[in-house]
Amino acid sequence: MIRPSERLPDPQLLESAMVRTAAEPLPLSRLRAGDRGIIVELQANGDAAHRLQEIGLCRGREIRVFRPGNPCIVHVGGSKLCLRADHVQILVELIEPGVVAVGGRRHRHRCRHGRGGAD
Amino acid sequence: MSVASEKRCITVALLGNPNTGKSTLFSALVGIYQRVGNYPGVTVEKRTGRFRYQGRNFEAVDLPGLYSLAVRSRDELVAVQVLLGQEKGVPPVDVIVCVVDASNLERNIYLVGQVLGLGIPTVVALTMVDVAQRRGISIDTEALCRALGVPVVPVQAHLSKGLEALEEAISRAVESPPEPRSPSLPDVLIAETDRLAERLAEKGLLAAVCRERAVMHVHDVAEAASPSQEMTADDGNGVADPSAAASGGVRPDWQTRFWVERLLLDQSGFLQNQFFGKDAPVAGRLIQEARAEIAARGVPVYEIEVESRYRWVAEVLRDVVTYPEEDEGTFTDRLDAVLMHRFWGTLIFALVMTVMFQAVFRAAEPFSQAIDWGVQSLAGLASQAIPTGAMHSLVVDGVLSGVGAVLTFVPQIAILFAFIAVLEDCGYIARSAYLMDRFMARIGLSGKSFIPMLSSFACAVPGIMATRTIENERDRLTTILIAPLMTCSARLPVYGLLIYVFIPDHRYLWGMVSLRGLVLTGLYAIGIGVAVVVALLLKRVFFRGSPPSFVLELPAYKFPSPRTVFLRVWERVVVFVRNAGTLILAVSIVVWALLYYPHNAEIVEAPYAAELEQLRERLDHLPADAPDRQSVQARLAELQSEIQTAYQRQSWMGRLGRLMEPVFRPLGWDWRIGTAVVASFPAREVVVATLGVMFNLGGSESDPDAASEQRAGELHARLQAAVWEGTDRPVFNIPVALSIMVFFALCAQCAATLAVIRRETNSLFWPIFTFTYMTTLAYCAALVTYQVGFRILGG
């Protein structure tokens, strides 16, 4: 099946994802291993932001945390990035477990960690 | 239209994200005959090679890996200038091969979107199709081809699959140059770009856009008048006369237009300073106005490009790619779960590093010995072949001992680089940056600085060359400046000699810890400790400003390609040997000459002549088995080495050493140690040989076949017996030995390192700075060591 929206910014689907996620956007540093979310904001000076976006960390894309912390390891698109975000704030809208989120993917990672959270 | 005439070489540029298998594809296309060099004025690696397809010649250029054509550093500027045909030394690019990683299509197609805007014939080479398939990603190549409007060829370079199809596509693409299009950018940006170009032209600033190399290019074109120019001219967007563009009113050529667009989008100010110099404020105002114009439409400038391009990518890929229903953890993820584990990962990393260092020192030993033996035999042969005199001394003492000492490090460098190349090619090096980033961040660097530092424990030269992977210029410079402080293998002969002779073999804790081992560890610690302090100071004083965020892609693990590993090691060794063959040779000869000349035989030998003559005569008259014979021979040898020393005293270097003795005295050194240290400027390990010469060992005059162990023992005895001239106070004691070792731990006595810093920073300032700061530091530390040691341990 074709699910282009899963990895790509699409304002409409971004909106729908926002509806489905109950929690406030969290900074990336607060996410745990296996957490999935949609990047809603990237706060950095123009140049740093441009670079991070080009490498794939831009608004509306799905991000999955592989190793939390600073530096952290995240999955974005098809790539795995190591990231130390000292002067960058990345806000992520969590995709809650059990919710059929953008692109219809279920989230076994969240279930495994058993983090109930805001619901 | 026949574009490329048969006699001309078609230039193909390989462009792509890092870790897409671009270099593997390049090697597969051109074979192992690759030319590696630097672009003039920068340290960007220039890699070219040739291949033939159906009787046509192709020249392939492998560009550095880029995520985007947005230029913010000199290195990226060079890569993009090559693409635009504005880099001298590289003919205008006829075809761009965009290497696209099938397992990460979105970000790779992003770059393709930028390339399509250039209007140069483009072919997409789709790599990693097998990786994508294993992940369950299926790609409709035909549909991708239609959506992009350029040929898409799947290739598996390591299996040589798809190469012919790619070559076919390349030679077809040359025939049909496309219109440049910006399929992915919004109209407002395009309109503002044109407006900005007009305004810059009004102020007479448009000519400055990419002026330096563009001028060269136009000149080249006029000279060559190559058919490819006809091609672009026919197309209506050829390289217009830049003076026309500068005079205003005329639509700027596509290269200038590209740069204006980049100026508009570049927030770092790099291009603005690059192009306009002192006019930057004027141009900056115009650029700001244009940006404000765009922002007024509700989009921040830095987001406009990325967002609209990614939206375009989404459109392109809509009917092209299918992702798996469930993303089960990949092999890489499962491996990373262990290798990137905070405890196990760090442990495994420490293990890998230990194995690597053991290999560097142990496995290299037989090879180093073989090379050493070879150089020694060569010296032996030369001693016999060349009659005694200046020429003999030059070849044996100058050339062979200087260059030979450096060549013995080739095996270590080769093994170290083989390890690093294997680890890099399989994807582990990027991970080590993650593992070490936390530590490196404390001293203001990032994980990327770790591998260069680690390599520097074997040799600073490959370490400094490895800093090329650090994009941040300040981080890179800091790393280059502190890398020579790591205890490299060349310091070990010096430490080995002095520790063995002067540090008593005390053992503690039931013999598990030895004083000698502690001293050696302490010397390593001094290097690291000082490096940390210097890094912090440099960050505070020279390179202020917030450290950039650190992003590094962790590529999927894969089996290393033997060809890539071999090529990488081969290139490094060639660079090192070339260094040894030129600069070190030159410096060795200079130091030799200073130690040899003025070589005034009458003055030097006169005081000894009478006794020498007398001894020789006695020897001639003594019967072969007389008991006196041995003692006479011994006295004769002693006399000859005294003459040798007298020559040293008389040499320019010896005079300099004695002149500088007041400088060395606070460190506890006499003029001979001082001279030996100064003379070891080309390479620190040379000091061992020079000390031998200075302290009456006879140096290379002695039988080269004599067992080196015996010679070493002799040197030990001589050093312990040496006294200050005119007294019977021994020259060497523990504080003196410690002060020499501390000096060598911190000094920059290595011409190869300074030469590589010169090359990598492309400036004379930084090698001079390095030498000055390290020598000052070494002197002060040696001074403190001796003065404190002297007071505690006594003379």
Pick from B307, B332, B446: CB nearest A9:
B307
SS3 annotation, B707-765 = CHHHHHHHHHHHHHHCECCCCCCECCCHHHHHHHHHHHHHCCCEHHHHHHHHHHHCCCH
Q: Write the DSSP string, B62-78.
A: EPPP-S-S---SHHHHH
State how far residue B308 is from chain A, nearest Cα, in angstroms: 9
Q: Is the peptide bond before A71 cis (omega within 30 degrees of 0)?
A: yes
B395 vs A34: CA distance, rounded Å: 66
pLDDT (0 to 100) of residue B59: 92
For residues B227 and B129, membership in a common domain is answered with no
Is B218's pLDDT higher than 60?
no
Pick from A4, A6, A44: CB nearest B549:
A44
Please state the domain extents for chain A.
4-113
C-beta atoms of A53 and B327 within 8 A: no
Residue B90 or residue B4, greater confidence = B90
CB-defined contacts A:B, below 8 A? 151
B591 vs B583: CA distance, rounded Å: 12
Which of A53-57, B181-185, B625-629 is predicted with the least confidence, judged by mean pLDDT? B181-185
* A34 to chain B: closest CA residue: B329
Tens of pLDDT along B639-684?
877 787 788 788 888 888 889 889 999 999 988 888 888 888 877 8
C-beta atoms of B70 and A80 within 8 A: no
Pick from B307, B336, B546: CB nearest A66:
B336
Contacts of B438 in chain A (CB under 8 A): 71
* B549 to chain A: closest CA residue: A85
State how far residue A51 is from chain B, nearest Cα, in angstroms: 9
A30 vs A42: CA distance, rounded Å: 15
State how far residue A35 is from chain B, nearest Cα, in angstroms: 14
Pick from A4, A54, A79: CB nearest B317:
A4
Residue B328, classed as helix, strand or coil, is coil
Residues 247-306 of B with CB under 8 A from A: 265-268, 300-303, 305-306
Is B693's pLDDT higher than 80?
no
pLDDT (0 to 100) of residue B535: 92
* Residue B770's pLDDT band (cuts 50, 70, 90): very high
* Residue B710's pLDDT band (cuts 50, 70, 90): low
Please give the ipTM for the structure prediction: 0.74
For residues B33 and B171, membership in a common domain is answered with yes
State how far residue B302 is from chain A, nearest Cα, in angstroms: 6
Helix axes B601-621, B628-650, angle to 10 degrees: 170
For residues B78 and B124, membership in a common domain is answered with yes
| CB B782 within 8 Å of CB B498 | no
Which of B94-103, B238-247, B492-501 is predicted most confidently? Answer: B94-103
Pick from B300, B322, B553: CB nearest A79:
B553
Is B741's pLDDT higher than 80?
yes
For residues B214 and B96, membership in a common domain is answered with no
B211 vs B204: CA distance, rounded Å: 12
Pick from A4, A56, A59: CB nearest B314:
A4
Q: Is B333 on the interface with A (CB under 8 A)?
A: yes
Residue B765 or residue A44, greater confidence = B765
State how far residue A84 is from chain B, nearest Cα, in angstroms: 5
With an 8 Å Cβ cutoff, the interface of chain A facing chain B consists of 1-10, 44-59, 66-67, 71, 73, 77-88, 105-106, 108
For residues B249 and B100, membership in a common domain is answered with no
Domain boundary residue among B146, B175, B204?
A: B175
Query: Which residues does B450 contact at the CB level (< 8 Å), separation at least 6?
Result: B432, B433, B436, B437, B439, B440
State how far residue A87 is from chain B, nearest Cα, in angstroms: 6
| CB B401 within 8 Å of CB B588 | yes
* Residue B439's pLDDT band (cuts 50, 70, 90): confident
With pLDDT > 70 as the criterion, what percentage of chain B qualifies? 87
Q: Residue B132 sits in which domain range? A: 10-175
pLDDT (0 to 100) of residue B392: 82
State how far residue A22 is from chain B, nearest Cα, in angstroms: 24
For residues B166 and B46, membership in a common domain is answered with yes
State how far residue A55 is from chain B, nearest Cα, in angstroms: 6
Pick from B310, B437, B548: CB nearest A48:
B548
Is B68's pLDDT higher than 50?
yes
C-beta atoms of A53 and B446 within 8 A: no
Is B2's pLDDT higher than 60?
no
For residues B17 and B134, membership in a common domain is answered with yes
pLDDT (0 to 100) of residue B763: 86
| CB B783 within 8 Å of CB B666 | yes
Mutate to test the interface with A, among B306, B326, B328 (most CBs of A within 10 A): B306
- B677 within some domain: no
Residue B683 or residue B329, greater confidence = B683
Contacts of B434 in chain A (CB under 8 A): 71, 73, 82
C-beta atoms of A4 and B318 within 8 A: yes
CB neighbours of residue B89 within 10 Å = 13
C-beta atoms of B553 and A81 within 8 A: yes
Is B700's pLDDT higher than 70?
no
Which of A46-60, B524-538, B627-641 is predicted with the least confidence, judged by mean pLDDT? B627-641
C-beta atoms of A45 and B318 within 8 A: no
Structural domains in chain B (count): 2
For residues B292 and B250, membership in a common domain is answered with yes
For residues B89 and B205, membership in a common domain is answered with no
Mean pLDDT of B698-712: 45
Which of B10-14, B299-303, B487-491, B499-503 is predicted most confidently? Answer: B10-14
Tens of pLDDT along B134-185?
888 899 999 999 999 999 999 998 888 899 999 999 999 988 777 777 667 8
Residues 105-134 of B with CB under 8 A from A: 105-107, 110
Is B630's pLDDT higher than 90?
no
pLDDT (0 to 100) of residue B78: 84
Query: Which residues does B268 contact at the CB level (< 8 Å), separation at least 6?
Result: A46, A47, B72
- B755 within some domain: no
Which of A6-15, B506-515, B553-562, B666-675 is predicted with the least confidence, judged by mean pLDDT? A6-15
Contacts of B326 in chain A (CB under 8 A): 105-106, 108
Which of A25-34, B76-85, B207-216, B562-571 is predicted with the least confidence, judged by mean pLDDT? B207-216
- B299 within some domain: yes
Residue B302 or residue B246, greater confidence = B302
Is A50's pLDDT higher than 60?
yes
Mutate to test the interface with A, among B551, B553, B558 (most CBs of A within 10 A): B551
Is B80's pLDDT higher than 70?
yes
Q: Write the DSSP string, A35-98.
A: -EEEEEEEES-HHHHHHHHHTT--TT-EEEEEE-SSSEEEEETTEEEEEE-SS-EEEEEEPPTT
Architecture of domain A4-113: Roll (2.30)
* B68 to chain A: closest CA residue: A54
pLDDT (0 to 100) of residue A97: 57
Is B581's pLDDT higher than 80?
no
Contacts of B441 in chain A (CB under 8 A): 84, 86
For residues B126 and B163, membership in a common domain is answered with yes
* B557 to chain A: closest CA residue: A80
State how far residue A1 is from chain B, nearest Cα, in angstroms: 6
Which of A13-17, B709-713, B732-736 is predicted with the least confidence, judged by mean pLDDT? A13-17
Q: What is the mean pLDDT of chain B?
A: 81
Sheet holding A26-27, edge to edge: A26-27, A89-94, A36-43, A62-67, A72-76, A79-84, B550-553
Tens of pLDDT along B274-309?
788 777 788 888 888 888 888 887 777 777 888 888
For residues B194 and B235, membership in a common domain is answered with yes
Mean pLDDT of B690-695: 71
C-beta atoms of B106 and A78 within 8 A: yes
Burial class (CB in 10 A: 0-12, 13-18, 19+), B775: middle
Mutate to test the interface with B, among A38, A40, A47 (most CBs of B within 10 A): A47
* B338 to chain A: closest CA residue: A67
State how far residue A50 is from chain B, nearest Cα, in angstroms: 6
Domain boundary residue among B299, B322, B345?
A: B322
State how far residue A117 is from chain B, nearest Cα, in angstroms: 23
For residues B159 and B14, membership in a common domain is answered with yes
Domain boundary residue among B144, B175, B206?
A: B175
Contacts of B550 in chain A (CB under 8 A): 71, 82-84, 86
Tens of pLDDT along A78-102?
889 999 877 788 999 988 654 444 4
Q: How far is CA B736 from CA B259, B612, B688, B691, B740, in A?
A: 61, 35, 15, 14, 6
What's the CATH code of the domain at B152? Answer: 3.40.50.300
